[in-house]
Amino acid sequence: MASSSSDLRGRIWLITGGTGSLGTALTERLLRDFDPVAIRIYSRDELKQYEMGRRFDDDPRLRFFIGDIRNLERLKLATRDVDVIVHAAALKQVPSCEYNPFEAVQTNVVGAENVVVAAMANDVPRVVALSTDKAVNPVNLYGATKLCAEKIIAQANAYSAEGASRFASARYGNVVGSRGSVIPLFLRQAKDGELTITDESMTRFWITLDQAVTFVLESVERMEGGEVFVPKIPSMRVGDLADAIAPNANRRIISIRPGEKVHEVLITEDESRHATGFHSYFAIYPAFPFWRQDPYPHGDELPPGFRYSSDANDQWLDAAALTEMIGLIGTPE
């Protein structure tokens, strides 16, 4: 089902969790560049939907659906005649998921199953679910639920079999300036002259919101079904970020928090055995018999024991790049 960007023009899109940062940015890009017939925003918060409508001047191509991804019947209605689903809805805050495990499972795991079932019921051709580096060797419940969601999305292609629907995931690192991320926190703390840092040697993968939108769209274009797509993105050290934001501020080391890693991983050694490298991304294929082999003959086989981790990356954000990134966020209120 490999496609070109022209194949994505003039389509009906459904974005679950569409009022979030990624959903809003994706909507803006689709309205500007892809001439959609309609974009259906599926989420629970009517106020955020109202504000999003105002942001886009109540563009008639936008459709706002109040609904929860836990509600299968509502999802089935929302997915009628849809060409592409981008599944972005999830509970994402690590402490919240730890404290409310039943809710995290219902939204992130059962919700992913519901998206699959609704898509197959309506023969939606392409579904891309958003994942996270925290799904790799998870040490917290959020990561564990997203790992389950990835498996559900990949195996959905076996359920769909000869049907019209195909499913893939896009797994990437921290989005710069997203809600709950460290840059807005440091910017607020800088006003008081003290930054709270877990570990100055901690590293993270970073991707801008605009880059994330591009990567999601490219994943929709190139998917065959079953893949987990991973972008090649830079790393940064938390200590370097603190230097860029507030070099003269005091630093209070608070130590690593429960459920947190010092370094993140986007591809494990085990996954790399059934993954392929390309110029700007990797594709991890299902290690199961239903997968049709060699869909991308022009990729590069990864070396034995390959591991894509934030501390062993060959791309790093230097001081100038970090300063530019901070400028993209602006100063929080």
Q: Which helix (H) or strand (E) holds 157?
A: helix 141-160
From 48, 92, 134, 232, the catalytic residue: 134
Distance separating alpha carbons of residues 149 and 131, to the nearest angstrom: 8
Q: How far apart are CA 288 and CA 278, in angstroms?
A: 22
Tokens of 37: 């017939």
Rounded distance between C-alpha atoms, residue 19 and residue 186, angstroms: 25
| Whether 85 contacts 166, CB under 8 Å | no
Separation between Cα atoms, residue 278 and residue 239, nearest integer Å? 31
Evaluate whether 104 touches 141 at the Cβ level (below 8 Å): yes
DSSP letter for each residue of 70-118: T-HHHHHHHTTT-SEEEE------HHHHHH-HHHHHIIIIIHHHHHHHH
Q: What share of the chain is helix, strand, coil (3-state, %, to 5)?
A: 40, 20, 40
β partners of residue 314? none
- CA-closest candidate to residue 192, choices 255, 236, 245: 245
Distance CA 161, CA 155 (A): 10
Q: Give the largest CA-CA distance in the chain.
A: 61
What is the rounded distance in angstroms from the CA atom of residue 235 to the CA atom of residue 309? 9
Q: Is 134 known to be catalytic?
A: yes
DSSP-derived secondary structure letter, 8: G
Tokens found for residue 99: 């404290």
Whether the CB-CB separation of 81 and 39 falls below 8 Å is answered with no
Nearest Cα to 211, choosing from 175, 169, 179?
A: 175
Catalytic machinery residues: 134
